[in-house]
Structure 1
Amino acid sequence: MCGIAGWVDFQLNMKMHLKTLESMTRTLENRGPDAEGIWHDTHVAFGHRRLSIIDLEGGRQPMEAAGISGDYAAVTFCGEIYNFIELRNELKVLGHSFRTESDTEVLLAGYLQWGVGVADRLNGMYAFGIWDRRREELILVRDRMGIKPLYYFPIRGGLVFGSEPKAIFANSLVPRRVSLDGLREMFDMVKTPESTIYDGMFEVRPGHVVTFSRSGIRKRAYWTLQAAPHTDNYETTVQTVRAILEDTVRRQMVADVPICTLLSGGLDSSTITALVAREFAPRQIRSFSVDFSRNVQGFEADAVRGSADAPYARALSEHVSSAHSEILLDSNELLDPDVRSRVLHATDMPPTYWGDMWPSLYLLFREIRRHSTVALSGEAADEIFGGYQWFRNPAAVQANTFPWLTTGSSRYFGGSQLLSPYLLKRLEQESYRQDAYNAALREVPVLNGESEQDRRMREITYLNLTRFLQTLLDRKDRMSMAVGLEVRVPFCDHRLVEYVFNTPWQMKIADGREKSLLRASAKDLLPESICNRVKTPYPATQDPSYENGLRRELLEVFSDRNSPVLPLLDTAKADALLKRVEAATSQPYNRGSLEVALWLNRWLKEYKVELAI
């Protein structure tokens, strides 16, 4: 896992601009704390920050190589290729030789052999840039599910790219400008493919290749979700899901550094931890969970969290004999200015949804990094197998919008209630959201003869995989890489996604509950209490002192007439909220509104953004 940056300009000699490339690269130091590398050719320069995972000595980047036919290419690569050993063996038969044991060298040789077709052969999480000297082309490639980020910004005569916006902004040719569309993206929890909040900046779409040459930019998909008939019976389907998961976990355990798992005690993380523990035996795998000291002292069930995680995580740990650590946080840590500044600089934009989950995830990963360099996580199981309540809520399923933004589903995701009426009117958020929803529906593949229920559930699943899951993967990548921790997500293996995407809905709810198919595939691995546990989200603090701390901070913002967020807020609403007595219980609705205002203010102050609204 690493951070990458690059700059191509056909009007410049890059040897004269390496200082800029070095500055771009060093913004990504947290993503790659172990080494830095710079490479350049006449019109191109690559930068790389390395987090050493495989072949600690031989995998340095950027890496360059000549092909059998004399072609020449260089690469800057972020991520992991899980099938690199098979690919290396195949390439050896074709005449390639290797001087390292790294997956980077295999990727480079694969490009020299198959061109951009190498992407079709990769199993992994990755984002990389390749310079083809003979063709004078830059090739940017992102993994199928969008696990690893990759941004680019076209400029006159060239293109700048990087793992995060901050790397691109380190180039003085790139402006920091945000218009209404950027704010619309910011305030809605829908990650529109390719879009960013910044004018002129784009993300490489998951499963896509972006090519830049003297003739301009070309884009093409090398992978998309396809509709196909499901011919396996239920028993075979259960066995196939299990077989893919076992193979995926086995592949993703390859590392030359300590690994661990993230364990909440839910079905998803428990399944991954149990499979890892079996592969790791007779050694003992480490597992980590997170919660809040207030929750442990007196957990209160709410609309989405029916039980605390800790007892279930302990039960699974005892069941598989993992070395388990419980990381407990308190509100003061979440409110710490240094922590919140680090969260902001990891995201390069205000975290306008998920609230306290951003700093808590950062703190969890910071502690894990003291013990391990690689962690396996249960992310994406809910989107694939239908775990969220909106998969089963008829009102959400039938709504003419994204199901997680329907009444009841969105209450914990954020809040724009303190924004000024003028700004809300200018945003026209409902219209923007509707256009985004309609555009997403037009992409959904169709299977002729499919039942009405299966057709709609295919749509719901597609929306979750392409618009909702991206928000989770982005959050996990930013918070983990902020501390130099690599998080792997076995449920994002494209073979599993393809297979379950085409599995009929009735198989996914065979026992009348969420994630029936996954439960059936993993039941022999887990204690009955965990196998039957109701879906519970990532923990959020229930401590009212957290909201009160946010209110005190917003009061300080209002006391400073130069606070940049003030023109964007409804001061009457904010004043009414601040004048209320301190909260005695946790109020997620209030917290979301407060968080949005405070993150906006910090972002505007620290990033010096031009708002074109």
Structure 2
Amino acid sequence: MCGITGWVSFEADLTRERETLDAMTATMSCRGPDDEGTWVAPHAALGHRRLAIIDLPGGRQPMSLRTPSGDIAMVYSGEAYNFTELRKQLTGLGHGFETDSDTEVVLHGYLEWGEAVADHLNGMYAFAIWDARDEKLVMIRDRMGIKPFYYHPTRDGVLFGSEPKAILANPLARKVVGADGLRELFAFVKTPGWSLWKDMHEVEPGTIVRVDASGIQTRTYWKLDAVPHTDDQETTVARVRELMTDIVHRQLVADVPRCVLLSGGLDSSAVTGLAAARLAEQGEQLRTFSVDFFGQEENFQPDEMRDTPDSPFIRDVAKLVGSAHKDVMLDPGALSDPDVRRAVIGARDIPAGLGDMDTSLYLLFKAIRGESTVALSGESADEVFGGYRWFHDETARNADTFPWLAMQTGLHERTNMLRADVRDKLSVDGYVADQYRTAVARVEHLDGESELERRMRTICHLHLTRFVRMLLDRKDRTSMAVGLEVRVPFCDHRLVEYVYNTPWSLKTFDGREKSLLRHATKHVLPQSVADRVKSPYPSTQDVGYVAALQLQAKEVLAEHDNPMFTLVDRTWLTGAVETDPGSVTSLERHGIDRMLDLYHWLDLYRPELDLS
């Protein structure tokens, strides 16, 4: 796991631009605290920061191969979980290896198969290859978008990086945010290819971007296809169990300490149970970590999203599998600390507005990093197996918008914090409607599907191509900010493809959410977790957190000329901070969090706002 960056220019001599390349590479130091390297040729410059996971002495980057027709150089971020099999295959084809790293396997895979190397990989990855034989850059991103990857076209080439901050370190990239950038922040729809920064784009998941002197071309090498599912219920459950076991076993491979993020829900508990069993076979004890808040269990109040606290279920899982478990306990002071907020914004490059759900995740990862370098997560199971409550709410399922928005307060209310003129310019409702129509039009269906099956396939597709990408970006950027590699077994493309094409009637055959996962992994679960209803990532209920937000917001209100008030309605904010902390609504709390994110983001990045 690493941070990559680079610059291709077909007119300039980049050997004269080492200082700029070094500055771009330095922005990725958190993603790669163990090593750094650069590679420069007249028309290509590559930078790399390494987090050593496999083959700690070897695997240094950028990595290059010399051919009779020119060098091939690569910077790579991620993990290829099938690199052992690929290495054997490539050895049989005549390739020789100098290291035990998966990076070298991917590079030789490109030498053998060209861009089609992507079809051979199982894993999470974002990598760029400069091929001097054809004077071209090839950028490839994993199928689900687990690893972030951005690029910025220039007049005569391109800039790229794992994160926008690497690109923004080059003077050719202006820090401009347009209306579409801001719309996306409030719309919560994750438009494919979107970047907050004007003229910057994502390398979309499952996509290859090729850059040569003639320009930039893109090609999709993987997408969700609709294919008939012919397995019966028993066979389907067995196949899910087989896939999950193989995936977890593969993703436990590392030369550094590993752990699992345990929330006490079905998803993370299933990964925990499978991982613990595997490590026990190898004579090791699994480590597990959870995040919790002081007083949360004792004073828990059910709300519209969470029926129960996590702690009792976490204890049940840890006891059953015998893990070495640790709770990372947080208080309102830590969750609301402005320095932590700024660290999160710096990690994500955007003012996400998720408040304590972002800061607690960052603090959890920071605590874990002191003991482990790799963590397995239950992220994405809800998108794959249909676990969210809105999958099962008839109103949300039939709404003419994204289901996760149908379960929330209206968009117009979620943008109340904005000035009226800004709301009018952004027209977030119209933006969401346009994006929804575009997203639905991309879904393929099978002939003969019932109306319900067609609708549920559409909803699953929306989650796997939109919703999950927001969560994957959040988890990667927050974890890599502290040098922690988080792996997501539920994003293995074999599992995604298989379950996506399983009919909804099979996904809910026992009348509950995530029936397939529940039955496929019940052999490693305590009964309490097997019976538990879906509960999302925890959020503090301590009114002290709200009071701390209000105090910080009052200090911002005293700054009459702050640029944030070109976006935020001062009157709205005044009313929100004067409300009794115990009476602040979830919408108001979210608005204050969002405002504080905007305040610190504007200070950290000093962007130019262009709402024309």
Which TM bucket (shorter chain)? Answer: over 0.9
The CA distance in 2 between the partners of 1:417 and 1:598, in whole Å, is 15
Query: Does residue 1:349 correspond to 2:350, yes or no?
Result: yes
Q: Following TM superposition, by how much is the alpha carbon of 1:12 offset from its aligned partner in structure 2, in angstroms?
A: 1.0
The CA distance in 1 between the partners of 2:456 and 2:584, in whole Å, is 34
Q: Please name the residue that 1:594 is paired with.
A: 592
Q: Please name the residue that 1:548 is paired with.
A: 547
Give the 5 Å matches for 1:320-469: 320-352=321-353, 354-406=354-406, 408-409=407-408, 415-469=414-468
Q: Please name the residue that 1:76 is paired with.
A: 75
Q: Please name the residue that 1:314 is paired with.
A: 315
The CA distance in 2 between the partners of 1:606 and 1:6, in whole Å, is 23
The CA distance in 2 between the partners of 1:176 and 1:317, in whole Å, is 47
The CA distance in 1 between the partners of 2:569 and 2:34, in whole Å, is 46
Q: Please name the residue that 2:22 is paired with.
A: 22
Q: Please name the residue that 1:165 is paired with.
A: 164
Q: Please name the residue that 2:560 is paired with.
A: 561
Q: Following TM superposition, by how much is the alpha carbon of 1:598 offset from its aligned partner in structure 2, in angstroms?
A: 1.2
Q: Following TM superposition, by how much is the alpha carbon of 1:448 offset from its aligned partner in structure 2, in angstroms?
A: 1.1
Q: Following TM superposition, by how much is the alpha carbon of 1:179 offset from its aligned partner in structure 2, in angstroms?
A: 1.1
Aligned AA for 1:126?
Answer: Y
Checking the alignment, whether the CA contact within 8 Å between 1:152 and 1:202 is kept in structure 2 is yes
Q: Please name the residue that 1:611 is paired with.
A: 609
Q: Please name the residue that 1:183 is paired with.
A: 182
Aligned AA for 1:390?
Answer: W
Deviates more, 1:144-153 or 1:277-286: 277-286
The CA distance in 2 between the partners of 1:447 and 1:514, in whole Å, is 23
Checking the alignment, whether the CA contact within 8 Å between 1:508 and 1:514 is kept in structure 2 is yes
Q: Following TM superposition, by how much is the alpha carbon of 1:564 offset from its aligned partner in structure 2, in angstroms?
A: 1.3
Q: Following TM superposition, by how much is the alpha carbon of 1:412 offset from its aligned partner in structure 2, in angstroms?
A: 12
Checking the alignment, whether the CA contact within 8 Å between 1:258 and 1:372 is kept in structure 2 is yes
Aligned AA for 1:287?
Answer: T
The CA distance in 2 between the partners of 1:227 and 1:217, in whole Å, is 29
The CA distance in 2 between the partners of 1:338 and 1:415, in whole Å, is 26
Deviates more, 1:197-206 or 1:413-422: 413-422
Q: Please name the residue that 1:244 is paired with.
A: 243
Q: Please name the residue that 1:257 is paired with.
A: 256
Aligned AA for 1:21?
Answer: L
The CA distance in 2 between the partners of 1:329 and 1:586, in whole Å, is 21
Checking the alignment, whether the CA contact within 8 Å between 1:61 and 1:76 is kept in structure 2 is yes
Q: Following TM superposition, by how much is the alpha carbon of 1:342 offset from its aligned partner in structure 2, in angstroms?
A: 0.6
Query: Does residue 1:152 correspond to 2:148, yes or no?
Result: no
Q: Please name the residue that 2:200 is paired with.
A: 201
The CA distance in 2 between the partners of 1:586 and 1:569, in whole Å, is 18
Checking the alignment, whether the CA contact within 8 Å between 2:576 and 2:584 is kept in structure 1 is no
Structure 2: runs of 5 or more not aligned: none
Query: Does residue 1:222 correspond to 2:221, yes or no?
Result: yes
Moved over 4 A (4+): 410-414
Q: Following TM superposition, by how much is the alpha carbon of 1:301 offset from its aligned partner in structure 2, in angstroms?
A: 1.2
Q: Please name the residue that 1:40 is paired with.
A: 40
The CA distance in 2 between the partners of 1:415 and 1:377, in whole Å, is 30
Q: Following TM superposition, by how much is the alpha carbon of 1:579 offset from its aligned partner in structure 2, in angstroms?
A: 2.3
Residues 413, 129 of structure 1: CA spacing in aligned structure 2 closer, same or farther, 3 A cutoff?
A: farther
SS in 2 for 1:114: helix
Q: Following TM superposition, by how much is the alpha carbon of 1:414 offset from its aligned partner in structure 2, in angstroms?
A: 10
Q: Please name the residue that 2:112 is paired with.
A: 113
Residues 18, 410 of structure 1: CA spacing in aligned structure 2 closer, same or farther, 3 A cutoff?
A: farther
The CA distance in 1 between the partners of 2:363 and 2:394, in whole Å, is 37
SS in 1 for 2:581: coil
SS in 1 for 2:529: helix
Residues 410, 142 of structure 1: CA spacing in aligned structure 2 closer, same or farther, 3 A cutoff?
A: farther
The CA distance in 1 between the partners of 2:271 and 2:586, in whole Å, is 30
The CA distance in 2 between the partners of 1:136 and 1:557, in whole Å, is 51
SS in 2 for 1:87: helix
The CA distance in 2 between the partners of 1:415 and 1:105, in whole Å, is 48
SS in 2 for 1:565: helix
SS in 2 for 1:294: coil
Aligned AA for 1:403?
Answer: P
Checking the alignment, whether the CA contact within 8 Å between 2:411 and 2:428 is kept in structure 1 is no
Checking the alignment, whether the CA contact within 8 Å between 2:342 and 2:601 is kept in structure 1 is no
Give the 5 Å matches for 1:501-516: 501-516=500-515
Q: Please name the residue that 2:293 is paired with.
A: 292
SS in 1 for 2:204: coil
What is the CA deviation profile of residues 334-367 of structure 1, one whole-angstrom value per residue up to 9, with x for unaligned ones? Answer: 1112111111100111013x33111000000000
The CA distance in 1 between the partners of 2:160 and 2:409, in whole Å, is 33
The CA distance in 1 between the partners of 2:412 and 2:146, in whole Å, is 21
SS in 2 for 1:126: strand
What is the CA deviation profile of residues 395-419 of structure 1, one whole-angstrom value per residue up to 9, with x for unaligned ones? Answer: 111111100001x345899943211
Checking the alignment, whether the CA contact within 8 Å between 1:411 and 1:589 is kept in structure 2 is no
Structure 1: runs of 5 or more not aligned: none
Query: Does residue 1:54 correspond to 2:54, yes or no?
Result: yes
CA RMSD after TM alignment: 1.4
The alignment-based identity, stated in percent, is 52
Q: Following TM superposition, by how much is the alpha carbon of 1:298 offset from its aligned partner in structure 2, in angstroms?
A: 1.1
Aligned AA for 1:303?
Answer: E
The CA distance in 1 between the partners of 2:502 and 2:130, in whole Å, is 40
Deviates more, 1:408-417 or 1:597-606: 408-417
Give the 5 Å matches for 1:112-131: 112-131=111-130
Residues 410, 28 of structure 1: CA spacing in aligned structure 2 closer, same or farther, 3 A cutoff?
A: farther
Aligned AA for 1:211?
Answer: R
Deviates more, 1:482-491 or 1:548-557: 548-557
Q: Following TM superposition, by how much is the alpha carbon of 1:189 offset from its aligned partner in structure 2, in angstroms?
A: 1.2
Q: Following TM superposition, by how much is the alpha carbon of 1:556 offset from its aligned partner in structure 2, in angstroms?
A: 0.8
Aligned AA for 1:386?
Answer: G
Aligned AA for 1:14?
Answer: L
Residues 134, 413 of structure 1: CA spacing in aligned structure 2 closer, same or farther, 3 A cutoff?
A: farther
Aligned AA for 1:525?
Answer: V
What is the CA deviation profile of residues 58-114 of structure 1, one whole-angstrom value per residue up to 9, with x for unaligned ones? Answer: 1100000135x7563110000000000100100001000000000000000000000
Q: Following TM superposition, by how much is the alpha carbon of 1:576 offset from its aligned partner in structure 2, in angstroms?
A: 1.9
Residues 202, 164 of structure 1: CA spacing in aligned structure 2 closer, same or farther, 3 A cutoff?
A: same
Checking the alignment, whether the CA contact within 8 Å between 2:74 and 2:127 is kept in structure 1 is yes
Checking the alignment, whether the CA contact within 8 Å between 1:412 and 1:589 is kept in structure 2 is no
- Figure out how many residues of one structure are paired with residues of the other and give that number: 609
Q: Please name the residue that 1:573 is paired with.
A: 572
Aligned AA for 1:238?
Answer: V
The CA distance in 2 between the partners of 1:237 and 1:550, in whole Å, is 48
SS in 1 for 2:158: strand
SS in 2 for 1:295: coil
The CA distance in 2 between the partners of 1:579 and 1:298, in whole Å, is 25
Q: Following TM superposition, by how much is the alpha carbon of 1:300 offset from its aligned partner in structure 2, in angstroms?
A: 1.2
Q: Following TM superposition, by how much is the alpha carbon of 1:586 offset from its aligned partner in structure 2, in angstroms?
A: 6.7
Q: Following TM superposition, by how much is the alpha carbon of 1:585 offset from its aligned partner in structure 2, in angstroms?
A: 5.8
What is the CA deviation profile of residues 177-221 of structure 1, one whole-angstrom value per residue up to 9, with x for unaligned ones? Answer: 011111101111111110111110000000000000000000000
Aligned AA for 1:597?
Answer: M
The CA distance in 1 between the partners of 2:578 and 2:97, in whole Å, is 68
The CA distance in 1 between the partners of 2:359 and 2:584, in whole Å, is 17
The CA distance in 2 between the partners of 1:359 and 1:2, in whole Å, is 22
The CA distance in 1 between the partners of 2:371 and 2:413, in whole Å, is 32
SS in 2 for 1:606: helix
Deviates more, 1:200-209 or 1:181-190: 181-190
Checking the alignment, whether the CA contact within 8 Å between 1:542 and 1:585 is kept in structure 2 is no
Residues 413, 255 of structure 1: CA spacing in aligned structure 2 closer, same or farther, 3 A cutoff?
A: farther
Checking the alignment, whether the CA contact within 8 Å between 1:542 and 1:586 is kept in structure 2 is no
